[in-house]
Chain A
Amino acid sequence: MSKGEVKNITFRIKRYDPEKGKTWWQEYKVPVRRGMTLVDVYLYIKENLDPSLAVRYSCRMGICGSCGVVINGKPSLACETQILELGTDVVTVEPLPNYPVVRDLVVDFTGFFEKHRMVKPYLIRRDVEEQENPTREYRMLPEEYDYMVQFSYCIKCGLCYAACPVPAIDSKFLGPQALAQAFRYMIDVRDEGLKERVLVVDSEHGCWRCHFADACSAVCPKGIDPAQGIQLLRRMLISMRLSGVKEKKGSPVMPPMPPETKPKPGVKAPPPRTVKPEEAMKRIVKE
């Protein structure tokens, strides 16, 4: 399609009115240009067709994770879905399943965030003093970082939780997002909270209720692989069970910086710094 060309596309949107308790499908005809995302379509509808449509979005660039909806049967981010790339003349938009609907396309994430909080998604160290007033960073090798980093890219958009078949019947199931987060901290070499997190994930509605349907990984907009994380988490728990290991020692604090070395004879000394580190620090503090 050439630039500037306009295509008329019908949007079938599933709506819900909490006051009347009524659900219905409504159709909107929207002229779509190349590059228009579903968020742009929302704005067009609200400006020109129907101001009563309730939607949620914020960053419109796939960072805040608030705009998840089911587009043509697949949970996706509204802001990252280009309408013309879908290639259909009728686009259906529904609220995310597995969450209670507040109104129209807006769903209630309270339970989802509660589960996220349950796995303690933060670094736990035994030495609280060092953690609060750090002298230096904790040691982490690049390979260790690469192993864990994908799970820390999660934007809590809840698409994985919507795609998973288990929360649909088991409302207490922690869900792919929370379990992947638990795994992210359990493999973090700096973390010492293994015991606390095992108590949460190794429960009746924890990681054992995942059945590797792999739907979560198929929809994650950030390239995270929660299914992979959960299976590895399970392997970890089984080996912990068989070997009796219960605790993990976090990586140590880096040793202090080595004192400045003198340049080798014959090697030119570096040019003097334009701003002395202490002065820069003072300036920052003042600001």
Chain B
Amino acid sequence: MVRESTLMTLHYIAAAIMVVVLTIHVLMHTPVLEKGYEVSLEYERVLEHYNVAWLDLAILLYAALFHGLNGLRVILIELHQGPVWEKAVSWTLLIIGIVAAIYGTWTLIEVV
């Protein structure tokens, strides 16, 4: 059993981390660092992004997945209560999170 305060402390920490890494991630697709949003989606550009900012992307992947899925868990356990439901929600989201994290990591390793 993970204590609620552990999860929520990590929730806030992940949020604070994302403020930085997501800003970098978004800026890479804007005219500030690129010629334009559409240009930044060309394959060579994307590869370049992956190679330059792979660390940023990795941190973003894990922080966003944790923060987002924990937020979804919070919403779901507020919508309905009961020990079975709460367990089911936690496990389902944990599995989704692990699968998505593995897939994202695999993409990163393949591309870089």
Interface residues in chain A, defined as those with a beta carbon under 8 Å from any beta carbon in chain B? 166, 169-173, 202-206, 208-209, 234, 237-238, 240-242
Q: Mark B60-87, 1 if CB is under 8 A from A, else 0.
A: 0000000000000010011101000010
Q: Which chain B residue has the least Cβ–Cβ distance from A208? A: B8
* Cβ-based interface call for B9 (8 A): yes
> B4 contacts A204, CB within 8 Å?
yes
Contact B5 A169 (CB under 8 A): no
Q: How far is the CA of A4 from the CA of B77 in the complex (A)?
A: 55
CA distance A246 to B88 in the complex (A): 30
CB pair A170 B6 closer than 8 Å: no
Given contacts A169-B79, A170-B81, contact A208 B4 (CB under 8 A): yes
Q: Collect the chain B residues with CB atoms within 8 Å of residue A166's CB.
A: 78
Residues on B with C-beta less than 8 A from A172 are: 81
Q: Which residues from 11 to 44 on chain B have a C-beta closer than 8 Å to any C-beta of chain A?
A: 12
Q: How far is the CA of A172 from the CA of B4 in the complex (A)?
A: 15
Nearest CB in chain B: distance from A240 CB, A: 8
CA distance A202 to B3 in the complex (A): 7
Contacts A241-B9, A242-B9: A206 and B78 contacting too (C-beta < 8 A)?
no
User: Inside 8 A of B77's CB, which chain A residues have their CB?
Assistant: 170, 204-205
B: number of interface residues (CB 8 Å): 13
Given A172-B81, A205-B81, CB of A241 within 8 Å of CB of B74: no
The docked-state distance in angstroms from the alpha carbon of A206 to that of B77 is 12
Chain A residues with CB under 8 A of B4? 202-204, 206, 208
CB-defined contacts of A237 to chain B, threshold 8 Å: 5
* Interchain CA distance A76-B3 in the complex, whole Å: 36
**Does B78 contact A238, Cβ atoms closer than 8 Å?**
no
**Cα distance A234–B78 when bound, in Å?**
18
Residues of B with C-beta under 8 A to A203:
4
Give CA–CA (A81, B81) in the complex, Å: 36
Q: Which residues of A contact B6 (CB under 8 A)?
A: 241
Minimum distance in angstroms from B110 CB to a CB of chain A: 37
Identify the closest chain B residue to A209 (Cβ): B78
Chain A residues within 8 Å of B8, by CB: 208, 234, 238
Instruction: Tell me the bound Cα distance from A205 to B73 in angstroms.
Output: 12
Residue of B nearest to A202 (CB): B5
- CB neighbours (8 Å) of B5 from chain A are 202, 208, 237-238, 240-241
Closest chain B residue, CB of each to CB of A199 = B3
> CA A173 – CA B81 in complex, angstroms?
10
Residues of the A chain whose Cβ atoms lie less than 8 Å from the Cβ of B12: 238
Q: Is the CB of B86 within 8 A of A204?
A: yes
Docked pose: A169 CA to B16 CA in angstroms: 28
A165 to chain B, nearest CB (A): 10
Cβ contact of B9, chosen from A169, A173, A238, cutoff 8 A: A238
Q: Top 4 A-B pairs ranked by shortest CB distance?
A: A170-B78, A202-B5, A208-B8, A237-B5
Which residues in B have their C-beta under 8 angstroms from that of A202? 3-5
Compute how far the CA of A151 lies from the CA of B4 in the bound complex, rounded to whole angstroms.
Answer: 24
